[in-house]
Structure 1
Amino acid sequence: MAVPLDRRHELRKNPITGLMEDMPDLHPSLIETIHFVLYTPLPSDPSDQAALGEWIELLEIIDDDLRWLLTRDHSKFWCQLIFDDSLKTFLSSYLRHSPRSLSAVPVAARDIHRSVHRRVFFTFVRLSTSKESPDNFLSDDAFAEIVYNHFLLDVPKMMDLCVLYGDAVNSPLLTKMLTNVFSKQKLYFDDLNSACDGIVDAFAKLKDRVEAKADETWSVSEVDDVLHYANDIGQTLSSFVRLCSVAAPALAKHLIAKEVVSLFENLVPLLRPLVWRSENLREAFLRSKASLLSLVHSLVEEAYLKPIDAERTPRRREELADKLLELIAFMLASSEFLKNYNAVFSIEEDWRRVEVALPSLDSNQALYIRDTMKALDFGRRHDSEENELTKEDHMIAKVKEVFPHLEEAFIRTCLEGCAWDAEKTIGSLLEDQGAQASETQEKKTEIRPDKVEKTEGVLSKRRNVFDDDEMDVFRSQELDYSKIRYKERNRDISSKSVLDDKSFVSSMRDRFLNTQFDDYDDEYDDTHDSTVGAPDFVSVEDFRIKRLNEKLPLFKLQTSDDEEDEEEDGNDESDKTKATTENPRPQMEHRRQGKGGAFKKGYSDNTGDEKKGPMKRQDQLKARAAKERYKGSYGNHNRKMGAQKKQGRAMGSFR
């Protein structure tokens, strides 16, 4: 009779003591000295060839190590698995960081990554199997203790396995593996209940975050984070419930379905107008909706409908039916969720299965559901085309989750070839023939015209008072352009003709020629004057700007001095008054010289007593010489040059 591996002993040499001892077959000394490297995520920049090359080398090392591990015999495989911590760390890192779809891996690394992906799955299948052959097996108690106590499997790892390997090819084997683990180790149900509490908290936090941001502006990154988080948790739980049906009652007990319906009712209407910013957000939005709807459907199917059909105890069947009726009533009260769910999975069909299983079901809640179903059927007859379109979009989004690089037109063609069966389409695309077809035909298939008509958006549903008008460009294909009036334009006028038109120059010339200038005297100080008479005559010579070093002619200097002497020699008081009234400049000049001469005692010609004759002439010359000598030692000197500079810059001031 064969002995289980956990009870086998053999006489071996102890590597520590060097003595022959009776040692068990599961002993740390029997492992090989090998270090399993950690799996790292994809390079952030796929175009970086150096980083991609290093990542491919890492995958090759991992592939060789896993090949060596799987070739070990039964006892050495379990020894390595139990006592090698690097192996357990590697398996956890792969489940955490591996891409959910092989299409996300660059083409250069796709083959080696597919090999690693397959060997990791075989490793988990082998460690989940207690009996490999009639001679190589573990007892049920030892298997349950080893898998649980050494953390070879836990609930989060099971969920990751369902997401990574839950396709049509591996799902039967994965379901058998998880069912075997839960049946051998009952403690996993306690861990599952604890995990459900964490899942409820995660949904509550996500719902609170959405409600808190309801009245605020969402950024693109925030919308993307929420959509990816909702899609990840919905896809993970949906795969886990579908492949591990023994875990469905625990999730139903914690009312996970109601939490999902409530989150969907708040999340989808809020994010729908925000996802049209980019194509990536729109695809993420569709994937999130599909994953949440699929999660609720999986819970209804695995936690209620199948147990009702399989249950033989009437009392237990009625309990399950009552819980399902409560859930359906909650779904009927959520209009947004019901519209999307009923378009894909048909809630009427779920209710019909309950009535077939329990024909005697007659309660107030059941009557309410029947009446609501009748009204729902009436509404569906009017929206059958829209629901059909929604179902097609859901199928396309479901396939696009696995193959995000494929275009919708090609996926639609594949779904039509598989009778709109998403699982069958994904299975065919995962095969080599489907992969080759996708590489050659993707991004080349044109969308058919009849499908384009179905996918019309807001314009096809709008209602306006101008609908079907003769100028309605959205509904009418032919317009009468003769009724459209264009504004008349003078086509002879061009930009060149406008620039060449210089007619305005003549008007501007007259304006400047008629402009007059003020007679500006830099040596005239009118600060304390209230009335200044205008000069009798202004000559053109007064406006000429003289150079700074220009000297006046000698005859002008003599004329100026003679006129000044004659003016000072006048003895008639009446003549002085008349001259002052007619021309006040000499008197003001005299006053100015008197003020300036006060700064140098003895050099002013305004001495108080009137001198006449040659003596006065000498005093004037001395005063002028002193002023010329000391004019740079007190204020307001060099005023003439400054005035000329201002006149030269500003062309004088306009009157």
Structure 2
Amino acid sequence: MVEVPLEKRMMTLDGINGVRKDVPAIHEVWKQTREWFPYLPPPSQQELVLTGAEDAWLVHGDQVEQDLVWLLRLPCHKFWSQLQFDPNLQRFLEGILQQFPREYDSSSSSSYTSSQIQIRNRDILHKLFLVFLRICTYKESASEFFSPEYYGTLIYEKYILDLPKIIDICSLFRPCNREITIKMVANVFKVQSRYCEDLFTTGESIGEALDNAEEQCQTLSMSLPSRKNVDGLFDLVGFLLDVSSSTYSLLDIFPGAGKPLQLAGFEMKLAGFYHSTILGVQQILERFVESEILTPEESTLCFFNLQISRHRSILAFRTIVEFNCLNPVMSETHCDKDEALEGFFSIFTTILQERTFLLDYNSRYSLQDDFDVFEQSGLNVDPTRKHYILDALCESSQGSGFSNVLTGEKEKKSSVTPTVETVPETGGATALTSSVLKPTEELDSLISSVRDMLPFLGEGFVEKCLEHYQFKVEEVVNAILEGNLAPHLASLDQSLERQAVEPKPVQAPRCIYDNDEFDVNSRDEIDLSRIHRGKKNKYGNAMKLLDDKTDINSMRDRFSALGIVSDIEVMVGEEREYEDEYDDTYDDVAVGQEEPDSRDDGGRQFVLPVALGGGKIPRVVQEKDDEDDDDEEDEEEGVFGRKPMNFARNPEEIRQENERRRQEKMSRNARKPAAQQQQQYQSARDVVGKPKGQGQDKQVLINRARKNANKGKGHRAGAERKQAKGMF
């Protein structure tokens, strides 16, 4: 006999007066009216001091447990009818999910002193887990089941399960029963794909919540530490812990959430949130501790929660990277591995500015190891982009006091040689850390930070742990709390004391006057005449300075060796006379002018090439009239046949010449009307002419030719002037 799903099954109902009728298996008629007792968190240590507080909570907790037991004992069709048509039941279950303490709350200062409270709370959690296990399963037995399509529509449309509840389920049930929780959540996402679409919106909503937390952190950082701001600080620390733990729990139980979260850019926001908000709150907390506003218990609790928040933020980020980038490469399925590599480059290139997060992430999950995975899988890793990321990480490590943790890369030269050790990490990753020598004062501060949170540890044991974990307090605390210490550290006595180190004697630096003739500490008498303040005057007076020709003689010897200067001295009588005979070897050649035979009188005139700075218009050489007298030529020409340059003209002649030019210009312009002058000026400058295809005037063609001929003439003239001055 083939069983019919519950949504299609009819059940017999005994009505009033013994009348029996058939009704659907999932119907409001099966719902029972019941009052549900809301769950209350266990009382804190301060509340347990009150008389009757423990008994009152135990009685209330017993009522909550009885409600859950009654719900579990219902048959399948009545259970789902009650769940679907009783809105108070959904609020009751939702309240327990929200109010029940998380696993990180059990280790806080609000831990329970009564064993009865712990037992009762554990029983409530167990019953709640069974209820949601029944809700997340569409097939209880071979005869009690839903069709997957109807079940997926039911839990989604009736809001029996939504993403906030799923996140609470992951966060609450992951520590107690991780394997079954993974199957529960995977079954829900399998039968209803619309939850995956909601994950994208959830990522954006969590990102907005992270931005709001950053604004609150900035507001709190601008205010002075005071007792009235303590509640705001506690709320902010609690939010950081809750959002990081919830996000990590969701990704740990359902890694497939990494894909829609990456599409929403959640991993980028998480890295920025870590760098700005979590570390910002930690700095604010340190200010409160320095101001002695917080008690030791409060500061220890806040620091502990912040370390957990940092740790789980990195784990959540790693899960997204593994699911989207590393798992496709290591899997045997046919997927786009190049796309996974490109996604890996895109993620870490974007978060390079989040230096603190990148350093903490690399200390736990080495980026060099990830690149080795890509290379071993046969992918072509771009070396330029790879070294860009690794070099930025190396610079960040040096700038922040961290050492270089990149294997296979060239280490920077430094005065301290790090010792590299291989440290096994959880999650299948191996991080390479190195020890860095720290100053004594800084090391004492780090040891005190660890012992403030874990006072039962010895200073010697803490020092060895810090050396192994790269002097990171949060890593040491997490490793101790999680029981994940390296083997050589786990075998040590945790109460080990610190060994005293004898300080090395400091050698005094040598003084300027150390046992010489001017040392006043070792001599009683000093020759003051040998002490001179300022520069000494080598010459007695100015005449001695002018008569000193040492520099001139040295220059003369240098030029004589080069053969540039030739001095000839001849004896005339009894006196020496300097003879410098004029050399007229090249007087016949017109230096800088045209050669006489460079062209024929009847041929084409010489034109200087354009490449050498000449134009297309030949130079006009004005030949002198043969009728000029020799006397005039002698006056106009110099010794070498060229007209001497007049460096100092008479200003009166210059003014007369300028006046003559002005008068000529005015006389030319007076003959034509102003309109004609303007038209003539425009026509002489017109290079545009008529539209294309209508022909051009001769003057336009001439203007165009003139413009092309003179184009760049000013640049050439300027270059010639610079060259003449020896500028290049």
TM-score strictly above 0.5 = yes
2:270 paired residue number: 260
Aligned positions of 1:388-467 closer than 5 A: 388-389=468-469, 394=474, 397-398=477-478, 411=481, 414-416=483-485, 447-449=494-496
Aligned partners of 1:287, 1:262: CA distance in 2, in Å? 17
CA distance change for structure 1 residues 391 and 140 in 2, over 3 Å: closer, same or farther?
farther
The one of 74, 89, 92 aligned to 1:87: 89
2:252 paired residue number: 242
- CA shift digits 1:348-380 (9 cap, x unpaired): 333332333353232642342355577642477
Aligned partners of 1:91, 1:130: CA distance in 2, in Å? 19
Aligned partners of 1:248, 1:67: CA distance in 2, in Å? 36
Aligned positions of 1:613-624 closer than 5 A: none
Aligned partners of 1:228, 1:284: CA distance in 2, in Å? 8
2:217 paired residue number: 210
1:270 paired residue number: 280
Aligned partners of 2:338, 2:385: CA distance in 1, in Å? 13
Q: As a proportion of its length, which structure holds more helix?
A: 1
Which of structures 1 and 2 has the larger relative contact order (alpha carbons within 8 angstroms, sep 6+)? 1
Contact 1:343 1:391 in 2 (8 A): no
Report deviation, 1:447: 3.5
CA distance change for structure 1 residues 397 and 83 in 2, over 3 Å: closer, same or farther?
farther
Q: Does 1:115 align with 2:123?
A: yes
The one of 349, 362, 372 aligned to 1:342: 362
Q: Structure 2 length as normaliser, TM-score?
A: 0.53
The one of 154, 165, 187 aligned to 1:180: 187
Contact 2:469 2:475 in 1 (8 A): no
Report deviation, 1:119: 0.8
CA distance change for structure 1 residues 166 and 13 in 2, over 3 Å: closer, same or farther?
same
Partner-residue secondary structure (3-state), 2:48: coil
Q: Does 1:11 align with 2:12?
A: yes
1:200 paired residue number: 207
The one of 318, 330, 334 aligned to 1:297: 318
Contact 1:224 1:284 in 2 (8 A): no
2:237 paired residue number: 227
Partner-residue secondary structure (3-state), 1:10: strand
1:35 paired residue number: 35
Contact 1:275 1:285 in 2 (8 A): no
CA distance change for structure 1 residues 202 and 392 in 2, over 3 Å: closer, same or farther?
same
Q: Does 1:75 align with 2:77?
A: yes
- CA shift digits 1:569-607 (9 cap, x unpaired): xxxxxxxxxxxxxxxxxxxxxxxxxxxxxxxxxxxxxxx
Larger Rg: 1
Q: CA RMSD in A?
A: 3.4
Contact 2:204 2:266 in 1 (8 A): no
The one of 130, 134, 144 aligned to 1:136: 144
Contact 1:287 1:397 in 2 (8 A): no
Q: Structure 1 length as normaliser, TM-score?
A: 0.58
CA distance change for structure 1 residues 161 and 106 in 2, over 3 Å: closer, same or farther?
farther
Aligned partners of 1:69, 1:250: CA distance in 2, in Å? 35
Report deviation, 1:177: 0.9
CA distance change for structure 1 residues 193 and 398 in 2, over 3 Å: closer, same or farther?
same
Q: Does 1:354 align with 2:374?
A: yes
Aligned partners of 1:60, 1:236: CA distance in 2, in Å? 28
Aligned positions of 1:572-611 closer than 5 A: none
Aligned partners of 2:419, 2:277: CA distance in 1, in Å? 27
Aligned partners of 1:106, 1:305: CA distance in 2, in Å? 45
Partner-residue secondary structure (3-state), 2:52: helix
Q: Does 1:284 align with 2:329?
A: no
Contact 1:37 1:86 in 2 (8 A): no
Aligned partners of 1:256, 1:21: CA distance in 2, in Å? 54
1:165 paired residue number: 173
Partner-residue secondary structure (3-state), 1:113: helix
Report deviation, 1:95: 0.6
2:98 paired residue number: 96
Contact 2:38 2:92 in 1 (8 A): yes
Aligned partners of 2:26, 2:393: CA distance in 1, in Å? 61
Contact 1:343 1:387 in 2 (8 A): no
Partner-residue secondary structure (3-state), 1:82: helix
Unaligned runs of 5+ in 2: 290-298, 395-403, 413-417, 421-432, 436-465, 508-728
Contact 2:248 2:315 in 1 (8 A): yes
Report deviation, 1:381: 4.7
Aligned partners of 1:391, 1:185: CA distance in 2, in Å? 47
Partner-residue secondary structure (3-state), 1:21: strand
Report deviation, 1:71: 2.4
Aligned partners of 2:494, 2:285: CA distance in 1, in Å? 23
What amino acid is the match of 1:365? Answer: R
Aligned residues: 423
